[in-house]
Amino acid sequence: MEELVRAGRVTVNGEPAHIGARVGSSDVIRVEGRLVRAPKLQRGPRVLLYHKPEGEIVSRDDPAGRASVFDRLPPLRGARWLAVGRLDYNTSGLLVLTSDGELANRMMHPRYGLEREYAVRVRGKLSGDQIARLRAGIELGDGKAHCESVAEGGGEGANRWYHIVIREGRNRVVRRLFEALGLAVSRLMRVRFGPVVLPPRLKRGQYLELPPREARELLALLEFPLSARSLIPALLPSGEGRLDPPSLPSGEREGVRGRRGGGEGIASPAAARARRETRDRPRPPRAR
């Protein structure tokens, strides 16, 4: 769609549009001469980042009546939030949700090979041989699994932190990898999904919507077809068409509002690699 804008095929009130143009609901937008109605354009894929705490399930139906992540999310008119993968009841960290099923499928599909990065706390220290086994692959009950990378993250006493990267989302795969080595995982936190990183200051139980520009970068990475529906987010002024932040105490509310357009939610693959190398990532809680 940006190519159409650059080629002069998109007009706003009869004038050629440009990337970042400020438009409102009263403006007349045409694509290659055809009138495009704003209400239809505003229903592009939405991407929400949620910092899941431990003790919540990623499901709308639970016979045990446990708390659900969906209880905390904002309403979505004419659609519902779809979780991109799941996090176990006792796992915390980044949960990506979207209003578009095709986008969710692409993020999870092996074809795109999106990395998942976790901060893992275990009782005990990995030996060089165990790290080599994690990288080479370990046979589990449902097939072989391996880590793309394993990096030490510090710790005190018997508790040690590690940052690992995998490219799959099988059930409890991280915990099972460490169990196969004879190590019990005491804390597990997802800090990145593909190029989407958990904003360091997003507290547990809070959410924010990925800004339109960063959402478009994610769509481009996944070769998501940009239809006329996705034009308006590229043209809307900052803040229009987004979700309001959750109700928070005044001090916390100020922080969430400032982060919504701050570009903290997504990083390019190169930036993600640099983040891993420098360990400039959300730090795990200090071991007690």
- Those residues whose C-beta lies under 8 Å from the C-beta of residue 146, and which sit 6 or more positions away, are 134, 135, 136, 137, 138, 166
In sequence order, what are the beta bridge partners of 95?
50
Calpha distance 32→9 (Å, rounded):
5
From the number of C-beta atoms within 10 Å of its C-beta (0-12, 13-18, 19+), residue 159 rates as middle
* Torsion sign, CA atoms 277, 278, 279, 280: negative
What CA–CA distance (Å, rounded) separates 180 from 169?
17
Is 88 among the residues known to form the active site? yes
From the number of C-beta atoms within 10 Å of its C-beta (0-12, 13-18, 19+), residue 111 rates as exposed
Find the catalytic residue in 71, 88, 244, 280: 88
Phi, psi of 65 (to 5 degrees): 70, 25
Q: Return phi, psi of residue 255, to 5°.
A: -65, -40
Active site residues: 88
